[in-house]
Amino acid sequence: MFDVARVVEAWPLLAKGAWVTAQLTVAATAVSLIVGTLSAMLQLSGLRAGYWLSRVYVSAMRGTPLLVQLFVVFFGLPLLGIRGEAFLAAVIAIGLNSGAFVTEILRAAVLNVPRGQIEAAEAVGMSRWQLWRRTILPQAFVTSLPALTNEFTILLKATPLASVVAVTELTYAGQLVIARTFEPTEILLTVAAVYVAFVLCLSQVSRRMESRFARRWSIQ
């Protein structure tokens, strides 16, 4: 029932799609982390406008489907004079979507940093920026690493939606093969297996980072 030859024949195309999926995941994760961190800082900065900007961003991203957001970015980029950048559109949409969840994760983590530490840092004369960079953010990242890993796993699993804006990632590569061969079973199961492998890699990396951080910041 499972014909391996079909997988072997399709493999070069699936591998190409898997590579696009990997690039998309890494790039969108970077955008998500940067935007999420800035947004969390804005929300906790004490600036009223910053607080509202961040809250509105999070609410809009959380409340609407990524599919719709992808269309909005894809159809919106040409207005800024950017055309034919499907990959960029996907990275922006997926990164911004995930950044909202990263905001929430980091916000909670920052609020859990003991007040005493912040006061101590202020007492030794750290500037606001130093305070964030040296004291608050490192701890927030370490304590929220499991939650962040979870979020980036979800991000990885959202990448198939990028096909609607002309990015031929793994799932769409599979669909193109199926459109030619009319045989979905082997291809879809292989595609699923590749995602499972990706997710296992991701959680391995995260586990390594966790123990590394734990040593570096000597958090027990």
Q: Cβ 48 to other proteins, closest distance in Å?
A: 11
Q: Cβ 122 to other proteins, closest distance in Å?
A: 28
**Residues at the site binding other proteins, with contacts judged by CB under 8 A:** 1, 9, 12-13, 16, 52, 55-56, 59-60, 62-69, 71-72, 74-79, 81, 83-84, 86, 153, 156-161, 163-166, 168, 171-173, 175-180, 182, 184-185, 188-189, 191-192, 195-200
Q: What percentage of the chain's residues is helix, strand, coil (to nearest 5)?
A: 85, 0, 15
Task: List the structure tokens of 109.
Answer: 């983590």
Handedness of CA 8, 153, 93, 91 (dihedral sign): negative
Half-sphere exposure at residue 177, Cβ-oriented, CA atoms within 13 angstroms: 26
What is the rounded distance in angstroms from the CA atom of residue 157 to the CA atom of residue 202? 12
Nearer to other proteins, 175 or 206 (CB): 175
Nearer to other proteins, 121 or 160 (CB): 160
Nearer to other proteins, 110 or 178 (CB): 178
Handedness of CA 113, 61, 160, 32 (dihedral sign): negative
Contact 93, 27 (CB under 8 A): no
Which residue type occupies 188?
L
Q: Cβ 132 to other proteins, closest distance in Å?
A: 24
Nearer to other proteins, 9 or 210 (CB): 9
Nearer to other proteins, 50 or 138 (CB): 50
Residues 6+ apart with CB under 8 A from 102: 32, 33, 35, 36, 37, 39, 40, 148, 151
Q: Cβ 197 to other proteins, closest distance in Å?
A: 8
Q: Cβ 130 to other proteins, closest distance in Å?
A: 31
Nearer to other proteins, 129 or 182 (CB): 182
Q: What angle do CA 113, 116, 120 make, to 5 degrees?
A: 110
Q: Cβ 72 to other proteins, closest distance in Å?
A: 6
What is the rounded distance in angstroms from the CA atom of residue 208 to the CA atom of residue 128? 31
